[in-house]
Amino acid sequence: MNLYRAHVLVCGGTGCHSSNSDKIKEKMEDRIKEKGLENEVKVVMTGCFGLCESGPNVVVYPEGVFYSHVKLSDVDEIVDEHLLKGRVVKRLLFKEAVEENIIKSVNEVDFYKKQTRVALRNCGIIDPENIEEYIAYDGYQALARALTEMTRDEVIQLVKDSGLRGRGGAGFPTGLKWDFTKKASGDKKYVVCNADEGDPGAFMDRSILEGDPHSVLEAMTIAGYAVGSDQGYIYIRAEYPIAVKRLQIAINQAREYGLLGENILNSGFNFDIELRLGAGAFVCGEETALIESIEGKRGMPRNKPPFPANEGLWGKPTLINNVETYANIPVIFQRGVDWFRSIGTEKSPGTKVFALGGKIENTGLVEIPMGTTLRDIIYGIGGGIPKGKDFKAVQTGGPSGGCIPKEYLDTPVDYESLTKLGSIMGSGGMIVMDEDNCMVDIARFFLDFTVDESCGKCTACRIGTRRMLEILEKITSGKGEPGDIEKLEELANNIKDSALCGLGQTAPNPVVSTLKYFRDEYEAHVYEKRCPSGHCRRLVTFVIREDLCKGCGLCKRNCPNDAITGEVREAHVIDPEKCIKCGTCIEKCPFGAIEKR
């Protein structure tokens, strides 16, 4: 085996891939060859580094030099200067990786230093398309131990003792689920991985599948052994082509190495995994709808009970966990229950991965111990709000979650605390909003999503959410009437009580939580016909400030409806009757003289 003096890791997650990181890798390899370094330097395409904001990202080891926003045209310079001559290319370093002329390695940067990487342990480090790299990082040892040294009950006991809870949203104890499925009677059982990550703005599971697919395969195989199943399915969104491709490669490699298939590791245990693609239905993230979809039907949820553990896929006992939950399993076996329980809180041990997005400096994936405060995540790791704007709220849990205001930024994050605030942990989307975001409009946005994604099976969700959306549209377009807010509340309660599945029962959450913390914004819309954040166009007027206008005429020339009048070098005026509130003038004004009121 060749020993390389340097490794160049290029991020191959979807975010960086979208900015041509695959071409950067190719060009890097070509240049390295040109310079005759191909036996000294190896280029590896890894999974997501997590810091998507600064992509495409490249890290050079052993030093851990962290380059960000790398362009194709920068590749030659990195090879010639850094790899050939040993001089770090300072202008390409990640902005926080240089402090008073001292270059910090990637692990020293605040964004990474404050994280604890358990589920993401291999993401951005190993080549996800090479099983040997996973094995070199202790991969498949947990499976070997389970199959050769442990009984099925011991495996389940270990998962129970770890206190691991489902990372898909509700936080059900994983060990209990395994136990129920094992105890259920049936001639055939199934193990399913829920990789239908539908929450818009969340991409934790995708990054795990893209960066470390074998950890999920290994965990599913262990689960198969524990519950007595020989067939697994991974149900994954078709919108994740890179993850699908890498998973298929991983499955093929595992079969080749005898880690999937018949008589795994000579233990007499058989297990195989098949991929099934979703087709763009959010409701299929609900476990019974997902099962229907694998069966080839419309993805409509079933009544529970019976739960999947007793009657799941094709009526057989079925264990169903999400991607991140599985990704935790192998490392719990390797490092032990005590280690795992030492991270996080008493009731919620371990870590949680969040997809940090919206109005935040460092958009990306972060993994933190449970119990970390929202403030630490948003300001410590996320770097705070850009452009000096004020924080308004953070939305967790996607369309099933809620908005948490400033007063609760010091809340430690775990399943119970977020539920108490009227939101949920959810799968891990965390969208930050600033003073410019209108909370009524955000509620409308989520309801619009739910209406679109409601499967139509139960009346409460199908009709109820649509009525809520209509009221919200009325309010945001300035036609709100007294009584509308109360109607929203009544509908929300009724839907919560009567919808069939998790999607419907939680659909009113975005409205309920914004009503709880931002009722004044709703009232301003309804009673004063005013949008406090200036977002809802029909409720704002555009005004030119006389003191700032220099009379350059740019706004006048660009106004599509000739609503602006004024002489050169004199303050201009907008005619509110003619103004269509398109915002063109604000974009064009070089002096910031136009305001929304």
Partner 1 sequence: MGLKFDWEKNKEKIHELELFIEENKNKKGALMPVLHKAQDIFGYLPLEVQNIISEGLSVPLSEVYGVATFYSKFSLIPKGEYTIGVCLGTACYVKGSQEILDKVQEILNIQVGETTADGKFSLQATRCLGACGLAPVMVINDEVYGRLTPDAVEGILEKYK
Ranges of beta strands (E only) in 289-363 are 318-322, 351-358
Which of 64, 173, 186, 201 is in the footprint of partner 1 by CB under 8 A? 201
Ranges within 497-536 binding partner 1 (CB under 8 A): none
Is the preceding peptide bond at 62 cis, omega within 30 degrees of 0? Answer: yes
CA–CA distances in Å: residue 113 to residues 46, 184, 459 = 20, 44, 49
**Which range in 197-205, 259-267, 404-412, 479-487 contacts partner 1 by CB under 8 A?**
197-205
Query: What CA–CA distance (Å, rounded) separates 250 from 142?
Result: 17
CA dihedral 457, 462, 465, 466 (to 10 degrees): 160
**For partner 1, the closer CB: 385 or 471:** 385
Assess 315 for contact with partner 1 (CB under 8 A): no
* 109 phi, psi to nearest 5 deg: -65, 135
**Which range in 15-23, 407-415, 487-495, 545-553 contacts partner 1 by CB under 8 A?**
15-23
Q: How far is CA 11 from the centre of its chain?
A: 17
Assess 154 for contact with partner 1 (CB under 8 A): no
Query: What CA–CA distance (Å, rounded) separates 424 from 411?
Result: 13
**For partner 1, the closer CB: 62 or 280:** 280
**For partner 1, the closer CB: 344 or 397:** 397
CA–CA distances in Å: residue 180 to residues 291, 294, 310, 453 = 18, 22, 8, 31
Assess 363 for contact with partner 1 (CB under 8 A): yes
**Which range in 155-163, 440-448, 522-530, 566-574 contacts partner 1 by CB under 8 A?**
440-448
**For partner 1, the closer CB: 248 or 342:** 248
Ranges within 262-291 binding partner 1 (CB under 8 A): 276-282
Which residues lie closer than 8 Å to 86 by C-beta, 6 or more apart?
none
Assess 172 for contact with partner 1 (CB under 8 A): no
**For partner 1, the closer CB: 9 or 431:** 431
For residue 434, list its beta bridge partners. Answer: 391
Q: How far is CA 179 from the centre of its chain?
A: 29
Assess 24 for contact with partner 1 (CB under 8 A): no
Assess 87 for contact with partner 1 (CB under 8 A): no
Give just the sign of the alpha carbon dihedral 151, 154, 159, 160.
positive
**For partner 1, the closer CB: 174 or 207:** 207
- Beta-strand relationship, 429-434 and 391-396: antiparallel
Q: How far is the CB of 437 from partner 1 (least distance, A)?
A: 6
Which residues lie closer than 8 Å to 2 by C-beta, 6 or more apart?
39, 42
CA–CA distances in Å: residue 469 to residues 146, 450, 464, 474, 476 = 50, 9, 9, 8, 10
Ranges within 336-355 binding partner 1 (CB under 8 A): 355
**Which range in 26-34, 145-153, 375-383, 438-446 contacts partner 1 by CB under 8 A?**
438-446
Which of 66, 67, 94, 203 is in the footprint of partner 1 by CB under 8 A? 203
Query: What CA–CA distance (Å, rounded) separates 25 from 556?
Result: 48
Assess 297 for contact with partner 1 (CB under 8 A): yes
**Which range in 27-35, 100-108, 295-303, 545-553 contacts partner 1 by CB under 8 A?**
295-303
Q: How far is the CB of 154 from partner 1 (least distance, A)?
A: 32
Binding interface with partner 1 (CB under 8 A): 14-15, 18-19, 51-55, 198-203, 206, 238-240, 276-282, 293-299, 314, 355, 357-359, 363-364, 395, 398, 429, 431, 433, 437, 442, 445-446, 449, 455, 583, 587
